[in-house]
Chains A and B, each alone.
Chain A
Amino acid sequence: MPARSAVQWDVLSIRLVFGVLSAVALVFLIAPTLIVLITSFTASQSLRFPPSGLSLRWYAALWDADQMQRAAWNSLVIAFWTTIISVVLGTAAALAIARGRSPLLRAADLLFMSPLLLPALAFGFAALIFVNKLGFTPNIPFLVLGHVIVCVPFVLRTTLASLSQLDPALLEASESLGGSSWMTFRRVILPLISSGVGAGAFLAFMASFDNVPVSLFLADERTEVLPIHLWQQIETNLDVRTAAASGLIVIATLILMLAAEKFAGLTRQMR
């Protein structure tokens, strides 16, 4: 029957076109991560792919990369504090925004999300001028506050999403049974939104660990962070230790992502 084959051709062609486009896109999405990972195990001095031989020598060389280790430690400490502050302030604000109806809260929501849309580099520069005008020089606490501004939207988004799934009847039940607001929060709300908060905390940590535009202005020689250190390495002398450091970051990210997927359902939270 010609009609039937036309329908099948229709179904087939859309699957073919979308399948091919998706396949190309997925290769482009994944290939860079795989290539940097494989290149980092090279035995040679150059960054050629595929590597001519495999070894762990560049990973071993990281043991002596003092400056890089200090930068990595700075980044971890800053990301840690950024995550803690973002989670506490972000979750509290999400509770207010999810339950409030006032236009002021809508405006606050918009304000909290704006760092995601505005050029982060312009904010970083503004923060530097501001700190300077106050008579301070950039230091770690200012750097953390700057990171919180650009990382808190992630916590807010995922927490608001999980709060919107919360059944209000549960809260009423808790309150009618005499639970205080703190008890209701601690025993009812928190367990139900913990995966949203967890996913947001993970995203905030990664965003802080990876931040360049804000750190560029608020970090100095002493507080150099890892992404900026690597960026400068890539711009000046492209050595294979950078690939090994990148390989470590990729592996750590993968492990953290799998953990976030298992405990907080990361892929569900990001939709």
Chain B
Amino acid sequence: MNVSDTKLALPLVALFVAFFIAPLLVLLALSLHGDVAMKTWTLANYAKFFSDSFSTSILVDTLLLGVKATLVCLVFGFPIAWLCARAGARWQSVLLFLVILPILTSVVVRTFSWIVILGRQGVLNQIAMGLGLVNEPLKLLYTETGVVMVLAQVQMPLMVLPILTVLSRMDPNLADASRVLGAGEWRTLWKVTLPLSIPGIIAGCILTYSASITAFVTQSLIGGARLIYMPLNIYQQAVGANNWPFAAAISIIFMIAVIAVVAVLSAIARRSETHARA
């Protein structure tokens, strides 16, 4: 390789330094000041956040929301990936197309259609009441259950694709060997397929988790005004209350929380990979 190849990355590096790293540094600096003019340094914004139980509960709720949505994605996403990996080339394309479709359809449109589905007179309630399962309409819109459901639908492809990648790279002889040696399908799944797909599962979890907790449109439209998560909190402080330094501090806290979760998951993935190779 020659030096000129490395230079090809320079324009993008320059753009990222000027318009990604620099803004984040300014955000960090502002969060450490009392006002937008940035005269005196202070930790007051952070103290305000952590001393207020309402603020900290928003942080905890948001991080837990991500866990719930990720688990739902995993329970339904793994079977889809498993089915995809075993399907013939044509069916695999069709299945993948159906899985990718939601992520490419505008998120506002998707969320909007969920409002039609989850509302008091929505499709789900019509079906549930028609079948006699419930006597009065279930409240789904503006509840956390509703938010988790919609997030799981919206982010599902991010879980399916990485799992499918590891499943289709897996040596089929391993599963065959397990079967020949007398292990049943379930045992093979638990002892061979699942452990070997951990890197894909964790990659999927990282993507769905970070996408779920930052999904501002879905959270605010399905959750409504009373269910507040971190992105809406930042938006309300920045635009509604016009308190930029505090909004900056909330943004930094949120980003550090996301990085911490991603770092823990990546560490697990690395350990399982070295474990699998050993």
Report A24-45 CB contacts with B as 1/0, cut-off 8 Å. 1110111111011001000000
How far is B58's CA from A137's CA once the two chains are assembled, in angstroms?
A: 31
**B44 in the interface, Cβ–Cβ < 8 Å?**
no
With A35-B123, A121-B234, A267-B96: A99-B108 Cβ-Cβ less than 8 Å: no
Contact B83 A49 (CB under 8 A): no
Contact A266 B100 (CB under 8 A): yes
Residues of B within 8 A of A125 (CB): 27, 234, 238, 247-248, 251
Nearest-CB residue, chain B, relative to A266: B100
Contact A227 B1 (CB under 8 A): no
Contact A227 B107 (CB under 8 A): yes
Contact B23 A126 (CB under 8 A): yes
Query: Can you offer 21 A-B residue contacts whose CB atoms are under 8 A?
Result: A25-B80, A28-B153, A31-B123, A33-B105, A35-B117, A36-B110, A89-B12, A92-B8, A111-B16, A125-B251, A148-B15, A149-B15, A213-B216, A242-B112, A246-B112, A249-B105, A261-B97, A267-B93, A267-B97, A271-B96, A271-B168
How far is B12's CA from A89's CA once the two chains are assembled, in angstroms?
A: 6
Contact B102 A120 (CB under 8 A): no
Q: Nearest Cβ distance between residue B146 and chain A, in whole angstroms?
A: 13
B residues with CB within 8 A of A: 1, 4-9, 11-13, 15-16, 19-24, 26-27, 30, 75-77, 79-80, 82-83, 92-93, 95-102, 104-117, 121-123, 126, 149, 152-153, 156, 161, 164-165, 168, 184-186, 189, 206-207, 210, 213-214, 216-217, 220-221, 230-231, 234-235, 238, 244, 247-248, 251-252, 254-255, 258-259, 262
**A119 in the interface, Cβ–Cβ < 8 Å?**
yes
Contact B4 A181 (CB under 8 A): yes
Nearest-CB residue, chain A, relative to B156: A29
**A123 in the interface, Cβ–Cβ < 8 Å?**
yes
Q: Which residues, 227 to 248 on A, are CB-close (under 8 Å) to B?
A: 227, 230-231, 234-235, 238, 242-243, 246
With A35-B117, A119-B214: A227-B106 Cβ-Cβ less than 8 Å: yes
**A122 in the interface, Cβ–Cβ < 8 Å?**
yes
How far is B272's CA from A86's CA once the two chains are assembled, in angstroms?
A: 34
Q: Nearest Cβ distance between residue A242 and chain B, in whole angstroms?
A: 7
Contact B19 A32 (CB under 8 A): no
How far is B116's CA from A188's CA once the two chains are assembled, in angstroms?
A: 50
Among A10, A29, A123, contact of B185 (Cβ-Cβ < 8 Å): A10
Nearest-CB residue, chain A, relative to B233: A121
Q: Which residues, 15 to 29 on A, are CB-close (under 8 Å) to B?
A: 17-19, 21-22, 24-26, 28-29
Total A-B Cβ pairs within 8 A: 274
Contact B104 A253 (CB under 8 A): yes
Contact B108 A18 (CB under 8 A): no
Contact A271 B79 (CB under 8 A): no
Residues of A within 8 A of B77 (CB): 25
How far is B168's CA from A36's CA once the two chains are assembled, in angstroms?
A: 34
Which of A62-70, A100-108, A190-198 lies at the binding interface?
Answer: A100-108
Contact B153 A32 (CB under 8 A): yes
How far is B248's CA from A243's CA once the two chains are assembled, in angstroms?
A: 35
Nearest-CB residue, chain B, relative to A107: B13
**A48 in the interface, Cβ–Cβ < 8 Å?**
yes
**A61 in the interface, Cβ–Cβ < 8 Å?**
no
Residues of A within 8 A of B5 (CB): 95-96, 99-100
